[in-house]
Structures are given as structure tokens and as C-alpha cells.
């Protein structure tokens, strides 16, 4: 029986091609716009996460009770599991940088420079001098712009690293970085991993920032890292380390969901009006069907099937158009640097690459289909409840 009424619904749509295509086009444009906007929202979240975790934490941070052993072991790894982009071992020690009578407290972090260049934001933010190169005979240090201003030093100048026990080590400034994040530009400095290992004290901490391909779920990332862990090592996801960023991405999702609902409500109003006009124009057709024995429920089924087919077709067409626009935008990216230059969550780049997810692709289609069916209920019920004699007496 459904097959019969489906054929009848298709015939009804095909007989009014102009109206049907206008309706499909209007709904399809709304779905395409929502699909593209959803992809941009996902891309913005991706960009904020990548920019933020690239400064220090990585997608996962491996912490250890034995920092020297853990960082040494991860530094010696030459191959990583599939899906892992990079692993950055780091040792950190609180020190005082001293130049003559000037001093600035910093967290001195030892790194492996060649790995940091792969994913870290800091190498790309060097504004004076150069990033750390291969280890040399003397200690080299990279400092933040605010620290450089406090100490009045520039690349090539010498300074002393004062340890908590009062001893000092000479070092040479090789570069100055500026991330735009005050706590990094003023409170962080970088040296070779071996340099910090040599001055390690009881207060020295260590961790490994692990990076994965964009879009890798945290659960999948954790499953990749777990086999590499040893006793005393544990995983901290970026959401636990950067809760404000996690809330911001969730807020973006909620905002996009509200936009989808508002657009769908407007689309539903348009669908309801279109179905009502169609019902009024076809009153004689429906009267003849009822005179032939078609029940009110069958007439409602016919009208709802027509609406469902139009909404489904429009949703599919709109999602395809939206996906094509998204693919075009993802090839080159959308430069939002003009609007993100002062945003600490875009320290590396303001370019956003739209990305489709199944959830955000399916949401507009399902929402339009459900809203269309609900919007068509009242016109369909109106047509089914009218008496045959009253319908036939209506002027054509």
C-alpha cells in the first residue's frame, strides 16, 4: 500500500514541477548554507585546538614520576605508531635569568629542536635571531619578547642561568619569540633537552607532548599511546589541561545548533505555507479521491509523503552542494587572520579549513525532514477532514 501511495505522491510532485522545484531549491539552499556554516564551525574549532595545543600541551600530554628517564626514552624513539604525528619530550626547571643587575624568573624548558619544528608553534614565532639549532659546546637559550625587554638583551648576548641552589650557568641568547600569550612571552624560555638535564634538580618536571592528525578522537589517541607507556607514566588529555578551550569549542557547537534550529523553524513555516497553498489548489482532486473511497488517513498519508519526498530530495541536494562548497574552501583555507590577530587561540595561523563531520552533515537534513513533516500535518489534516460535498462545491 505504501508503494502505491508513494507512486501517487511522485505523480503529484511531477505534475507541479515549477512549484516543486522552487520549493526544493529554497530548502536545498538552506541546507547547503547550514552544511557549509557547520563545516566552518568545525574548522574554527580545529584551528583553535591546533593553535592552542601546539604551544605546549599537544593533544595528549604524557606525565611521569621519573621525568629524566621518561624524556630520555621518548627522545630516543625513532619510529611512532600510525596516526601519531610527533612526540615532543620536554624537561622543565624553574630558574632565574640574570644579566648584570637585572633578573627575570622563567620556566626553562629543554626540548628536541628538530621535533619541535614539526608541530610546535614556538619555532614559527621567532621574531629575532633564530630557533635552537643542533646542540653545541655552550648552552643556548631562546627567550620570550617580554623577558628580552626586561633583561635588555638581544640574540648574541650572554646571560646567566641561576639555579634554585644559587649556582649559575652561562648561556647565549640565540633568538627571541613572541606568541602573543603573556604567560609564555614572559615566563617561558627554551634550551636543548641536554642542557636542562644537566642542571636538573628535585623541582625539575618532565612530560611528553604527543600530537596526532587533525580530527583524531581523544579516545583513539589514548589507545595509540597506552602501549608505549611505562610504570609511573600517565596520560592527560588536552581537555583536562585546557578546560577553557574545551568550553569554547562546546559553546561554538551550541551556537551552531541554535542557528540550525532557527533556520529550520523558518524553513518549516515556508513548507507549511507551500503545502497549504497546494492543498487549496488541489481541492477538487482531493474531493474526487474521497468520492472514490479514499479515507482521510490515506489522504493525509499522500500529502505527508509528497512533503517527505520534497524535503528528503532538497536535503540531499543541499548537502551535496554544501559539501562541494566545503571542499573548495578546504583546499585553500579561509583566512580569518584579520579577525583573530589578537586571539591567543590563533597564535600560529588565522587560516581556517572547513571540515565536514557526519553529525553536522546529517543534522540539517534530519532537522528539515522532521520540521517539514510537522509543518505539513496541519494542512494535511485540514484536507482530510473536509467533507466531499463541501470540497466539490468549492469554486475552481
H or E, element range at 91:
strand 84-99
Residue 277 has pLDDT above 90, yes or no: no
Q: What is the mean pLDDT of residues 235-251?
A: 89
Examine the domain organization and report whether 272 and 367 are in the same domain.
yes
Examine the domain organization and report whether 331 and 215 are in the same domain.
no
Examine the domain organization and report whether 42 and 88 are in the same domain.
no
Q: What is the pLDDT of residue 61?
A: 92
Residue 8 has pLDDT above 90, yes or no: no
Mean pLDDT of the chain: 85
Residue 6 has pLDDT above 80, yes or no: no
Most confident of 226-240, 261-275, 279-293: 226-240
Closest to 44 in 3D by CA, of 332, 333, 280: 333
Q: What is the pLDDT of residue 211?
A: 92
Examine the domain organization and report whether 16 and 33 are in the same domain.
yes
pLDDT tens for 109-138 read 999 999 999 888 888 889 999 999 877 667
Q: What is the pLDDT of residue 192?
A: 93
Tell me the backbone φ, ψ of residue 377, rounded to 5 degrees: -60, -45
Examine the domain organization and report whether 236 and 308 are in the same domain.
no
Final residue belonging to a domain, choices 210, 241, 272: 241
Q: What is the mean pLDDT of residues 150-168?
A: 90
Examine the domain organization and report whether 229 and 96 are in the same domain.
yes
What 3-state DSSP class applies to 346? helix
- Dihedral over Cα of 380, 385, 391, 392: its sign: positive
Q: What is the secondary structure of 5-49 as a DSSP string?
A: HHHHHHHHHHHTHHHHHHHHHHHHHHHHHHHHHHHHHHHHHHHHH
First to last CA, the chain: 30
Examine the domain organization and report whether 336 and 194 are in the same domain.
no
Examine the domain organization and report whether 109 and 223 are in the same domain.
yes
Examine the domain organization and report whether 364 and 254 are in the same domain.
yes
- Dihedral over Cα of 371, 372, 378, 381: its sign: negative
Q: What is the mean pLDDT of residues 316-339?
A: 89
Q: Which region among 13-17, 144-148, 200-204, 297-301 has the lowest average model confidence (pLDDT)?
A: 13-17
Q: What is the pLDDT of residue 394?
A: 55
Q: In percent, how much of the chain has pLDDT > 90? A: 29
Examine the domain organization and report whether 306 and 209 are in the same domain.
no
Q: What is the pLDDT of residue 94?
A: 92
Final residue belonging to a domain, choices 192, 207, 241: 241
pLDDT tens for 380-394 read 787 777 666 555 555
Q: At what angle do helices 296-332 and 2-15 cross, to 10 degrees?
A: 70
Q: How many domains does the chain have?
A: 2
Domain ranges, residue 139? 58-241
Examine the domain organization and report whether 40 and 171 are in the same domain.
no
Examine the domain organization and report whether 149 and 294 are in the same domain.
no
Final residue belonging to a domain, choices 213, 241, 269: 241
Higher per-residue confidence, 144 vs 348: 144
Most confident of 41-45, 295-299, 346-350: 41-45
* Spatial distance between the Cα atoms of 137 and 129, rounded to a whole number of angstroms: 19
* Spatial distance between the Cα atoms of 309 and 333, rounded to a whole number of angstroms: 35
Higher per-residue confidence, 215 vs 221: 221
Q: What is the mean pLDDT of residues 196-206?
A: 86
Amino acid at each position: 500500500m505504501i508503494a502505491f501511495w508513494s507512486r501517487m505522491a511522485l505523480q503529484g510532485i511531477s505534475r507541479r514541477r515549477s512549484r516543486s522545484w522552487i520549493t526544493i531549491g529554497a530548502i536545498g539552499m538552506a541546507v547547503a548554507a547550514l552544511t557549509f556554516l557547520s563545516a566552518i564551525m568545525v574548522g574554527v574549532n580545529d584551528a583553535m585546538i591546533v593553535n592552542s595545543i601546539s604551544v605546549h600541551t599537544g593533544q595528549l600530554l604524557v606525565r611521569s614520576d621519573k621525568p629524566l628517564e621518561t624524556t630520555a626514552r621518548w627522545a630516543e624513539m625513532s619510529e611512532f605508531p600510525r596516526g601519531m604525528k610527533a612526540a615532543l619530550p620536554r624537561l622543565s626547571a624553574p630558574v632565574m635569568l640574570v644579566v648584570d643587575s637585572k633578573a627575570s624568573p622563567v620556566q626553562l624548558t629543554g626540548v628536541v629542536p628538530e621535533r619541535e619544528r614539526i608541530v610546535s608553534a614556538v619555532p614559527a614565532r621567532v621574531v629575532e635571531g633564530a630557533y635552537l639549532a643542533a646542540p653545541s659546546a655552550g648552552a643556548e637559550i631562546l627567550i620570550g619578547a617580554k623577558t628580552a625587554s626586561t633583561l635588555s638583551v638581544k640574540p648574541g648576548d650572554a646571560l646567566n642561568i641561576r639555579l634554585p641552589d644559587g649556582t649559575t650557568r652561562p648561556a647565549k641568547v640565540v633568538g627571541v619569540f613572541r606568541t602573543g600569550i603573556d604567560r609564555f612571552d614572559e615566563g617561558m624560555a627554551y634550551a636543548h633537552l641536554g642542557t636542562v638535564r644537566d642542571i636538573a634538580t628535585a623541582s625539575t618536571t618532565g612530560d611528553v607532548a604527543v600530537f596526532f592528525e587533525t580530527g583524531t578522537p581523544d579516545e583513539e589517541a589514548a589507545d595509540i599511546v597506552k602501549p608505549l607507556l611505562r610504570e609511573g607514566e600517565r596520560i592527560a588529555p588536552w581537555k583536562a589541561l585546557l578546560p577553557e578551550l574545551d568550553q569554547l569549542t562546546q559553546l561554538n557547537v551550541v551556537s551552531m545548533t541554535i542557528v540550525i534550529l532557527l533556520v529550520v523553524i523558518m524553513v518549516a513555516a515556508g513548507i507549511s505555507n507551500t503545502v497549504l497553498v497546494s492543498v487549496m489548489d488541489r481541492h477538487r482532486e482531493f474531493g474526487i479521491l474521497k468520492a472514490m473511497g479514499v479515507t482521510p488517513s490515506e489522504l493525509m498519508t499522500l500529502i505527508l509523503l509528497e512533503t517527505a519526498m520534497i524535503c528528503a530530495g532538497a536535503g540531499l541536494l543541499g548537502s551535496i552542494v554544501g559539501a562541494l562548497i566545503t571542499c573548495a574552501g578546504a583546499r585553500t583555507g579561509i583566512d580569518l587572520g584579520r579577525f583573530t590577530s589578537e586571539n591567543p587561540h590563533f597564535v600560529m595561523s588565522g587560516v581556517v579549513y572547513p571540515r565536514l563531520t557526519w553529525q553536522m552533515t546529517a543534522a540539517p537534513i534530519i532537522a528539515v525532514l522532521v520540521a517539514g513533516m510537522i509543518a505539513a500535518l496541519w494542512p494535511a489534516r485540514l484536507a482530510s477532514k473536509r467533507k466531499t460535498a463541501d470540497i466539490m462545491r468549492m469554486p475552481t
